[in-house]
Amino acid sequence: MPETLAMDARARSSTVTLPRPWLDDLVRYFYAKLGSYEDAQDAAIEAWHQGTAKAAKVMGSANPKAYFFGMARRVAADHLRKMARNKREPWATGSTAAAPTEDAAMVDEVLRGLSDDHREALVLAYVHGFNHVEIAQITRRSPAAVNSLLQRAREAFRTQGSHIVEDR
Amino acid sequence: MNDEQVKTALQERFRTLRFEGEVTPGRMKRKGWLLPTVAVGGLALPAIAGALLFFSPGCTYERAIRALEDAPEFTMEMTVDRFGSTPYKVTYEDSGTWHRRTFGRPIGGGVMVWNGDRCSAYTLDGSFCVVDDLERTQVGGDSMNPLPGEKTIDYVMRSVWLTTFPLTPGSEKPVSRYTATDEQGRSCEVLSFLDDEGYIRDFSGATYRNVRAAELWLEPGTGRPIRFDVHEPGQAAGLRSTRTARISYGHIAPFNLTSGLAAGARVVDLPALRSSVWKQWEAQNRREELDGSRVYDVYRSPKGWALILTDKVFNDELLIEDAQGRPWSAITVSNFTKMPEKVSVLLATPVEPGDLSATTLTLRADRNSTPHKLAIPAASATPPTWLALALHPFRLYKLTLQPPLSSANYYRSVRDWKNEIKWLERTLDIYDEYKERPRGVEMRLSMAKDLLSGKREPPPFKDETRPGAGLFAPQ
Chain B nearest-CA distance from A45, in A, is 8
Displacement of CA A166 from its chain's centroid (Å): 29
Lowest mean pLDDT among B83-87, B320-324, B340-344, B423-427: B83-87
Which architecture, in CATH terms, is A98-168?
Orthogonal Bundle (1.10)
Average pLDDT of chain B? 50
Q: Is B200 helix (H, G, I), strand (E, B) or coil?
A: strand
With CB atoms and an 8 Å threshold, state whether A107 touches B17: no
Please state the rounded mean pLDDT for residues B461-474.
35
pLDDT band at A28 (very low <50, low <70, confident <90, very high): very high
- Indicate the residue of A42, A48, A127 with minimum beta-carbon distance to B10: A127
Using CA atoms of A82, B110, B223, B184 in order, give the dihedral in degrees to the nearest 10: 110
**Can you give the pLDDT at residue B344?**
75
Q: Has the ipTM of the complex gone over 0.90?
A: no
Looking at chain B, which residue has its C-alpha nearest residue A161?
B1
Interface test with B, best of A45, A50, A166 (most B CBs within 10 A): A45
More confident residue, B347 or B91: B347
More confident residue, B125 or B359: B359
The C-alpha atoms of residue B191 and residue B173 are separated, in whole angstroms, by: 9
The predicted-structure confidence for B241-291, as pLDDT tens digits, reads as follows: 223 322 222 222 222 222 222 222 222 334 444 555 566 666 665 556 666
B139 pLDDT higher than 50: no
Chain A residues near residue B194 by CB distance under 8 angstroms? none
B117 pLDDT higher than 70: no
Interface test with B, best of A22, A79, A86 (most B CBs within 10 A): A86
- Indicate the residue of A32, A37, A126 with minimum beta-carbon distance to B6: A126
Chain B residues near residue A82 by CB distance under 8 angstroms? 104, 142, 144
The predicted-structure confidence for B285-335, as pLDDT tens digits, reads as follows: 555 666 667 777 788 877 677 888 877 666 556 778 888 888 777 766 666
Residue B207 pairs with which residues in a beta bridge?
Answer: B201
- Indicate the residue of B1, B20, B23 with minimum beta-carbon distance to A164: B1
> Domain residue spans in chain A?
19-96, 98-168
**Can you give the pLDDT at residue A130?**
93
DSSP tally for chain A: helices H, then strands E: 9, 0
Lowest mean pLDDT among B38-52, B354-368, B412-426: B38-52
The strand pair at B27-29 and B288-290 is best described as unpaired
Residues 5-64 of chain B with CB under 8 A from chain A are: 5-7, 9-14, 16-21, 23, 28, 30
Looking at chain A, which residue has its C-alpha nearest residue B170?
A85
pLDDT band at B66 (very low <50, low <70, confident <90, very high): very low
Q: Which of B400, B369, B358, B397 is nearest to B291 (CA)?
A: B369
With CB atoms and an 8 Å threshold, state whether A24 touches B18: yes
Please state the rounded mean pLDDT for residues A119-134.
93
Ranked by mean pLDDT, which of A19-28, B16-25, B28-37, B178-187 comes out on top? A19-28
The residue count of chain B comes to: 475
The predicted-structure confidence for B222-235, as pLDDT tens digits, reads as follows: 665 566 565 544 33
**Can you give the pLDDT at residue B430?**
60
**Can you give the pLDDT at residue B63?**
31
Chain A residues near residue B87 by CB distance under 8 angstroms? 86
More confident residue, A35 or B425: A35
With CB atoms and an 8 Å threshold, state whether A127 touches B11: yes
